[in-house]
A = this chain, B = another copy of it.
């Protein structure tokens, strides 16, 4: 009876983690499909008059996802140079930036490598604290875990996807 109950709960836990990972992948695929469909010229345009360009949003998404390696405690950033250009600075900073082709390659590379870690996380590992929260705070705020990072980054991606969709004719 006890085993039945723990098995059932364990299955529930796994199911929920899988659903969250599926949604992350679904949003990633939508974005990748869009980046593939758009020409470099289209991506370089502003998504709306006076707003960010597609290039900036692509670089921003790569940089934010790249920051997940240290935040989730699974490694170093692959492209640390992107933070200054695409997170700390606005679009028209005049800073040198990689080409659209390079950014698309980074996008694929970062998400593939993240996927390698995400697919291996057990539910206990998903519920471990992320590295930006001190141990003593985590005891009181157990929701500041890796899963929360996944949830909020999925929504962050959806938010910018809604804007990037305007680059299509």
Contact = CB atoms under 8 A, between A and B. Distances in A.
Interface residues of A, number: 39
A27 B151 CA distance: 12
Interface of A: 2, 5-6, 9-10, 12-13, 15-20, 22-23, 27, 47-49, 51, 123, 127, 142-143, 145, 147-148, 151-152, 154-156, 158-163, 166
Task: Say whether chain A's binding surface is mostly helix, strand, loop, or mixed.
Answer: helix
Oligomeric state, in copies: 2
Given A47-B48, A48-B49, A151-B23, A13 B13 contact: yes
B19 A148 contact: yes
Given A6-B6, A20-B151, A48-B166, 15 more contacts: A2-B6, A5-B6, A9-B9, A9-B10, A15-B127, A16-B16, A19-B147, A47-B48, A49-B49, A154-B155, A158-B158, A158-B159, A158-B162, A159-B159, A163-B166
